Every structure is written in structure tokens, then in C-alpha cells.
Amino acid sequence: MAIVSRGFKGRPRRSDSKLPPGQYLTEDFPVLAAGPTPKVARERWEFVISTETGTRHRWSWRDLLALPAERPTVDLHCVTKWSKFDTHWQGVSLSTLLADVETAAEFALVHAYGGYTTNLPLRDLLDGQAWIVYQFDGKDLTPEHGGPARLLVPHLYLWKSAKWVRGIELRVTDKQGFWESVGYHDYGDPWREQRYQGD
């Protein structure tokens, strides 16, 4: 006797190749944060890249807006299993910001207003893979979504795209950030379901 009736196909599976395993689609843009939302005035905002030798490269809000803007359309994947397709942003490529930065570093520790940090390999910020974004859907980025500016690294889980970004520390050795130090994966590739250490 057959255990499964003929013609039974189970739950319908989404065949969309844009959706990583274990994720579901949402039209919303959920707001998740590890702490209170910092309120950072644009006139006080600055972004600093510091190298392993201590050299600092600094941009004010005005400096950032004077750089060539890009308008990436990307899919987002959160470690809490939601994905949002075709999101529209405006910002400055990290390739532009890092163009004149001399470094032998292989790692980056991202710092945010409010104390949040996250780590990733420096190579994941280069070659048009990451941006400092300040607009979403044609409007200024709200504080709840990381405004005035956030990091956007869409090929990794969204916790790597630090909200309220204020700087990047370039390092020759890796150093875990906030979520990584409590068990989240050091890299966070949604296609490999790298949610937690050991995944």
C-alpha cells in the first residue's frame, strides 16, 4: 500500500530563483533594531574610513552628497527569513569612497551611531557590491530604516547593512561585531543559510 496518494505533490513551492532557501516574500519593510533609534542631524553626521595604520578619511554630509550618486535596485534578505524584492535606493558606492584609500587590510568593522558594529571581508564592499545609501524609494531615508545614511550590502543578510552608519575600520585581522559576538554567522550568505555560527 502506498504511503502517499497518487497525485499528492505536497505544499506548493515557489520556484522563483531570486528567493534564497528558507526565505518568504513580503511587500512590507519590517523594522528591526538591536536598540533605540539614534537621531542624527545631517549637519552633525560624518562618515570616516580609518585604515590599519591610523589614517582617517572623512566625509561630511555635504561631502557625501557631492560624490557621484548611484541608484541600485536590489533584493533584501533578512536573517529573520523575510525577503523583499526590487528595492530602490540612492547613495554612494563604497568603491568610490575607498578609491583613494591605501590599505593592506582584508577585513572591515563597520561602526554605527548608537554603538552597533558588524564585520565583513573588505572584498565584499568593493566592485559595486555595497553603498552608503541616503534615499529609499525616492525619499530621504527615515531614521527607522537607518537614516540619515546606512550601509547597503544586499548580497548578505540585512544585519550586515548597518543602519545609522558612521564609519568603517579597516583591519588586517577580523573582529566580530555585535550580532556575530552573540552567535550570528561571521559572513551571513543568505544563499547558504549562514544565519548562525556553524551554519
**Beta strands 82-93 and 24-25, pairing class:** parallel
Give the model's confidence band at 16: pLDDT under 50 very low, under 70 low, under 90 confident, else very high. low
Helix (H) or strand (E) holding 66: helix 61-66
- What are the residue boundaries of the structural domains of the chain, listed by start? 24-28+41-192
Give the model's confidence band at 145: pLDDT under 50 very low, under 70 low, under 90 confident, else very high. very high
C-alpha 124 chain-centroid distance:
10
pTM for the full model? 0.89
Give the per-residue pLDDT at 11. Answer: 36
Name the amino acid, one letter, at 198.
Answer: G
Q: What is the mean pLDDT of residues 177-190?
A: 97
46-50, strands of its sheet edge to edge:
56-60, 46-50, 165-171, 107-112, 117-121
**CATH says 24-28+41-192 is which class?**
alpha beta
pLDDT > 70 in the chain, percent:
92
Tell me the CA distances in angstroms from 173 to 48, 86, 104, 119, 169, one per residue in order: 19, 34, 11, 11, 11
Give the per-residue pLDDT at 110. Answer: 98
Give the per-residue pLDDT at 123. Answer: 98
Q: What is the mean pLDDT of residues 36-57?
A: 95
Give the tens place of pLDDT for each residue, 50-107: 999 999 999 999 999 999 999 999 999 999 999 999 999 999 999 999 999 999 999 9
Q: Which residues of 109-132 are buried (b: 16+ CB within 10 A; e: fewer)?
A: bbbbbbebbbbbebebbeeebbbb
> 59 or 16: which carries more pLDDT confidence?
59
Tell me the CA distances in angstroms from 194 to 38, 75, 117, one per residue in order: 28, 17, 18
Q: What is the mean pLDDT of residues 7-21?
A: 59
Q: What is the mean pLDDT of residues 125-147?
A: 97
Residue 149: which of 35, 30, 38, 74 has the closest Cα?
A: 38
User: Per DSSP, what are the bridge partners of residue 2?
Assistant: none
Give the per-residue pLDDT at 33. Answer: 72
